[in-house]
Amino acid sequence: MIGSPSEGRAEPGGTGDLAKVAAPPARRPMHRDPAALLLGLLWAAAAVLGVLRVDGFALDDFFITYRYAWNLLAGDGFVFNPGERVFGTTAPGMGLLVAAASAITRLPISHAAPWVSGAALWSLAWLLLAEGRERGRTAEAAAAGTLIVTSSFLWVHVGAEGPVALALLLGAARAAGRRPVLAGLLAGFAVWCRPDAGLGVAALGLLLWRERGRLPWRFGVTGGAVIAAGLAAARWWFGRWLPGTLEAKRLQAEWMPEIWAGGLTFWGEGLRSLRTLYVGPGVMLLVVLGLAGLVSLAVLGDRAHRLLAAYALALAVAYPLLGVAYYAWYAIPIVIGLLAGAAYACGWVARRAYRFCGGTAAGRWVAAAALLLLAVPLGGELARRSAGLYLAPGTSPRYELYRHVGGWLRENAPAGEAVSYVEVGMIGYYSRRPVRDLLGLVTPDAIPWVERGDLVGGFLAAPTPWIVYDTALHGFMQPLREAPWFEGAYREVVHFRHPGNGEELILYRRRPGAELPPPPGPAAQPPSR
């Protein structure tokens, strides 16, 4: 882990840099290096195992994109609800990729998507290894790659577009030297996968400009053309340039800041959720080490390292400024950056300790001890969580219930009858029925009601025959069920109860001929914005 003595001596004496070496040693190409190939194989095995373990476990929001992909393959076009051209996914590129993967492999969308994620994680690790080897930091790169490929946080977000977009960006950074057109294509498609990758494209453009002292016009023109094509396509198909989810998530942060943190508390919620779900009490150690490593990579690393650092840091600043509510998958590129940064920072500490001890054999033990002291509080919890993922993967009881509800609706609800709820991905995907999203992600006409904090009004604006009610989310749905008209207008049809935590989902159906009041407010129409 700590590099060879010759690597240590190759560095400018004690300058304190994390990544720079005076003269990168000549190395065999990656595909001819048995150690690199072995590592690549191990990562591939870990990724395949990860895919098999989390198959079908994606978070609800990702099923929104899956439903777009499913409808595309079904011939209904790239839409969430057939016939409604609503730009309700932030990951159209991911949707297209997943659709393509499904079409090629004949796997269902929800089973094809994990393979795309696994491939993205492996690619990230491989790209970082390539970059690290060239800079004489193979051990750090190997550690970073291993942390990424085995990260339970990233596998929990299987199906997310973040790793794909980041892998495309890093690939672009690696390719930009000799193949600027390919780099532009990759970078442009990264923006299709996730619009905020635009920050990464801009950062890569600036890096190339700074490296060469002239405008990287081939990269810029190609990347710009791909992005422009995406925007034009979105405008043509959906009637808008960008996804409508941005506005919906901003409104969420304004409506219930205690649940949906935004602004100054955006990363507070991020740190809290990382602490609870991933890193444990050592979260600050990850942040401090990761930031130290990232800053150093940004200053002294090679292009892909710098891009990783710049992109992660830019996102860290941008999200609070955007005012959107925190969702854990926003943190994916930043977590990847922190993991890589922490690996490099640990490597720096170990190398410093080794040099401090004069590069002697005993100095290796001191370096190993220093590394251990840093790695134990951080790596222990990460390893435990990763082991938990591989040994006993599981999904949220609620998601299991959503799957059952979706399946039940598909078998029992008449085609074309819509269902209303606040988490619409899985229910929509599995039910194949139109879904009205009371939080407005895929239902733009609900957004004005979200702005008012009035889910009942949003429902009454376009009532559906079916309603899903979740006992664990009663804070959202309770006003609807407690509305005076509800009892007379809807009846309970089926009741799903999770045997583990007792969470219950109830499906209500509108009584035949039941009258509903108009939506509250000064006018029956939703307020215009």
Residues engaged in binding other proteins (CB under 8 A): 261, 264-265, 267-269, 271-272, 275-276, 281-285, 355-360, 362-363, 365-366, 369, 377-378, 498-502
For residue 34, count other CB atoms closer than 10 A to its CB: 8
Beta strands in 382-445 (DSSP E): 419-421, 435-437
Q: Rounded to an integer, what distance in angstroms lies between the CA atom of residue 447 and that of residue 324? A: 14
- The alpha helices in 194-282, defined as continuous H runs, are 197-212, 217-238, 245-255, 266-274
Instruction: State which residue, 213 or 281, has the beta carbon closest to other proteins.
Output: 281
Instruction: State which residue, 282 or 333, has the beta carbon closest to other proteins.
Output: 282
Minimal CA–CA distance to 443: which of 426, 429, 425, 465? 425
Q: Rounded to an integer, what distance in angstroms lies between the CA atom of residue 92 and that of residue 191? A: 9
Q: Rounded to an integer, what distance in angstroms lies between the CA atom of residue 382 and that of residue 59? A: 20
Instruction: State which residue, 251 or 353, has the beta carbon closest to other proteins.
Output: 353
Please state the closest distance from residue 210 (CB atom) to other proteins, in A: 31
Residues 107 and 101 sit within 8 Å (Cβ to Cβ): yes
Residues 526 and 519 sit within 8 Å (Cβ to Cβ): yes
Please state the closest distance from residue 397 (CB atom) to other proteins, in A: 10
Please state the closest distance from residue 282 (CB atom) to other proteins, in A: 5
Instruction: State which residue, 282 or 440, has the beta carbon closest to other proteins.
Output: 282
Report helix, strand or coil for 420. Answer: strand
Amino acid at position 76, single letter: D
According to DSSP, the β-strands at 466-470 and 490-497 are unpaired
Instruction: State which residue, 282 or 347, has the beta carbon closest to other proteins.
Output: 282
Instruction: State which residue, 182 or 288, has the beta carbon closest to other proteins.
Output: 288
Cα 113 to its chain centre, rounded Å, is 13
Q: Rounded to an integer, what distance in angstroms lies between the CA atom of residue 235 and that of residue 331? A: 28
Please state the closest distance from residue 320 (CB atom) to other proteins, in A: 9
Please state the closest distance from residue 35 (CB atom) to other proteins, in A: 27
Please state the closest distance from residue 497 (CB atom) to other proteins, in A: 8
According to DSSP, the β-strands at 419-421 and 435-437 are parallel
Please state the closest distance from residue 90 (CB atom) to other proteins, in A: 24
Instruction: State which residue, 368 or 494, has the beta carbon closest to other proteins.
Output: 368
